[in-house]
Structures are given as structure tokens and as C-alpha cells.
Structure 1
Amino acid sequence: MTKLNTMTDENPINETQQSGDSAASQGGDANGAAFEPLTASYERLRHSTDSAELSEFARRPLPDRSDQAAFSRATALLEAVAGNKHTPVEDRVFLASTMPFPNVLVKLSVDPEPSVRVAVAANEDDKNWLVGRLTKDPIPEVRDAALRNKRTSWKMRLEGAQDPAADSETLDYLGLLGTELEEGAPAVLSSMVRRAVALNPNTSADMMAKLAEDPSVEVRHAVESRR
């Protein structure tokens, strides 16, 4: 797997962002004010206790991608905002729900507020390894959201269907994969997930009735074994 070029606290700024920062700093901003270097802005936002400033930055429209330096700078600073616990929860949820950037989503995936992690788990711009990690979250709502995400691997879906702590709503969803949901899904993999649902003691009676009529003989046999 290609390693993502995400940012860390030790080295939050990549070379592209540094060069864009340097170019922009030569002329200052549009109002003629001194331009704050990206590293300084990142650290200031990362440690800020000004919730209003952090909220405003979280909701600020991103520059057009054609302005590579400004776009790269803005997305870098969003990581600092996302990782700051003084950013209001509703703004962290907003970022978790709408941002496609791995560096921002990774920060939010370890947020102490479960509602933020739920939003990350449901974000279909997640990388599959990140949403897969959230299928192991200690909070059931986070796990459920991750298992319903189309980015989740079949391996993680199978493990979710086998989980004795899985709730019936999530099992209802997994039990339809390859039949009523994602009809073009790989037949063998989807039937393995449905079979695991049939064997899970938390599966609802309604779902068991559906699986009793499943096109896969292995799934139907699993239902019969429960009777």
C-alpha cells in the first residue's frame, strides 16, 4: 500500500506547502498586511483557545484548487483546527462529515467525542484502512457507521457480521449486501457476510426470514442450522 503523505505534529508541513508559503510570504496578503508563515499559523491554531476563531476557520470556504499554494495552505491549517479540542464539537462534526482530506480525517478519527468519530466513520471519502480501523471503535455507534460505509472492506464487513456485540440494525444492513444492496458485489464475499449474519444470534427474525430465501445455499443452510 502506498504510504499516505499525512502530516504529524513533528512535521506538519510538506514541501509543497512550504514552497507555497514562501512564495506567498514575499508579497504579504491582499490587504498589504504581513503574511504569517504557515508553520507559525499551524502552531497558533493548534494551540488556540479561541473557539470563535477556530469555528470561523472550520467553516471558511476553501480557496479554489487552481490556486495551489492557497489551497494547500488552507487544507494544512484545517488539520490544526480539527485536532484542537477547543474547536466546537459541531464544527469538528462538520469537518468530519464534509472533508475529503486524509490528514484532517485521521485527526478527527481519534477525537474523544464519539459524534465526531461517527461522522468520520460515515464519510465515504475515507480511505478504506481508516474506516476499517473505526469498525473496531469501542463505541457501538461508531462501529455501526463504519460497517455501513461503502469504503469498508469485505474482510471488515465479515468480522462485523460475526461480532457477537453487533446490533440488529447493522446486521439487517449487512444481511442485504449482494442482494438488495450493492447488487454488483462479489458473489462469494457477499454471501460469506450474509452467512455470518444468519449465524449471528443478534440477527432479527425478519432478517432471518429473508435469509431463509437467500439465493446462496450456504446462507440458507446457515439459517436452517439455527432452527
Structure 2
Amino acid sequence: MSEEQQAPADQSAQTQHFEPLTAAYERLRHSTDAQELSGFARRPLPDRADQAAFSRATALLEAVSGNEHTPVEDRVFLAQTMPFPNVLVKLSQDANDDVREAVAANENDKNWLVGRLTKDPVARVRDAALKNPRTSWKMRLEGAQDPQMDPQTLDFLANMGVSMEEKAPAILTTMVRRAVALNENTAAQTLQRLAQDPVEEVAKAARSNPHCEPAGE
């Protein structure tokens, strides 16, 4: 067979093996082949310069991310490393707490997605979202006001505008620290620190908290 005859034959074979995006998406979304799904999750993405291939790969990662048969460790890997909203949204709805926690900590998240995860039913997922610098001040304030918030995260929020986010608007950081100071779930040690806050309204709020122990006791 001549080279001229071989070339069309090769092109025909490639055409026959090409799987349309919709078909590939549905196949991966419903696949029970954990090995195939894992391989796809870990596959390096095409160069962004090849827009068609790159868009196809990220679309298919959405299907892999939403498939419960994709191994948990691979879903966590995607949740930690992916910057694509379509993939992260799928993973933010995962039934596995570790996966959602990884999404909550991913600094590539959009702030609305982090905000959604600050309302997660699992405490450690909420905590990771509130510690993510992408979360909004509104979400931080609501977290500081939450009577079910754990003392460790409240202690983290108590540093806003003092030893963290020092260049943030003072009115916002003050509101967050004051809310922590009023929260009865805030640890005594945190309250003692807030009782010495440079903003008097924060310090006063901390001293009014029934769990605040006077210094030296």
C-alpha cells in the first residue's frame, strides 16, 4: 500500500475511534471502572493553547468528579488541585466529608462556593471554608456569630485585623472580632486576648462574655 493510500486509512481509523464529547461525558459519568476513572483524574491536562482539547478535558473531569465510583483519594486530589468552577461545584456536593473539606480549603474557589461551604453540616468543612482567604467578610461575620462554631475557628477569626488580614478594612475586621468576643463558645484564652483588643468596643464585648476570666486568674 502506498503512503498516499495509508494516510486516508489512518485518518479513517482515528475518526472511528473518536468519541464525541457528549458520549464520553455520559460514559464517564456512569462508569463503574475505578481504574479508568482514576487514570482520567490523574491525567495531565492538555496545553491551554489547544483550546478544544483543553475544554474537552476539563468538561470530562466534571463527569469524573461527580462519579461516586471515582476513588475517594482521586476526588480529594481533584478537590485540592483543580481551579475549575464546574469541577469544584461537583466536588462540593460530594457525600464524602474529606472531599468537601478539600474543596473548602482550595484557594482557587470562587467566594460564593466557599460561602456555601461555610454552611456545611460538618464542622471541619465549615472551618476550612472560614479559614480560606477567598471567603467573604459576610461569611466570616456569620461564622463568628454562630453559637455552634468550634473554639479553634473562633480563635482564628479573633486574629482578623490584628495578626492576620491587617490591611483589610478596619470596620470589617472589628465587626468579626467583636462577634467572636460575644460568642459564648469562644475559649477563655481567646477572650482574654480580646479583652486587651486595641478597639475598645471589642475589648468591652470580650469582658462582658460570661466565659471571660480576668487576667491572672
TM-score between both structures, scaled by the size of structure 1: 0.85
Identical aligned pairs, as a percentage?
Answer: 71
- 1:18 is matched with none
Contact 2:191 2:207 in 1 (8 A): no
Q: Larger Cα Rg: Structure 1 or Structure 2?
A: 2
Contact 2:105 2:129 in 1 (8 A): yes
- 1:58 is matched with 41
Amino acid corresponding to residue 185 of structure 2 in structure 1: N
- 2:50 is matched with 67
1:89 to 69, 72, 75: 72
2:62 to 76, 79, 99: 79
Between the aligned partners of 1:134 and 1:102, the Cα distance in structure 2 is 14
TM-score between both structures, scaled by the size of structure 2: 0.89
Greater CA drift, 98-107 or 196-205? 196-205
Between the aligned partners of 1:73 and 1:56, the Cα distance in structure 2 is 16
1:192 to 170, 175, 179: 175
More helix, by proportion: 2
The alignment status of 1:158 with 2:157, answered yes or no, reads no
Matched residue pairs, number?
A: 201
Consecutive unaligned residues in structure 2, runs of 5 or more: 1-9, 211-217
2:114 to 131, 135, 154: 131
Q: Secondary structure at the match of 1:44?
A: helix
Shift of 1:30: 10
Greater CA drift, 107-116 or 31-40? 31-40
Between the aligned partners of 2:66 and 2:168, the Cα distance in structure 1 is 36
Amino acid corresponding to residue 131 of structure 1 in structure 2: V
The alignment status of 1:37 with 2:20, answered yes or no, reads yes
User: RMSD value over aligned CA atoms?
Assistant: 1.7
Amino acid corresponding to residue 130 of structure 2 in structure 1: L
Consecutive unaligned residues in structure 1, runs of 5 or more: 1-26
Amino acid corresponding to residue 208 of structure 2 in structure 1: S
Segments of 4+ in structure 1 off by > 6 A?
A: 27-33
Amino acid corresponding to residue 39 of structure 2 in structure 1: E
The alignment status of 1:141 with 2:129, answered yes or no, reads no
Between the aligned partners of 1:175 and 1:94, the Cα distance in structure 2 is 31
Shift of 1:208: 1.1
Shift of 1:29: 10
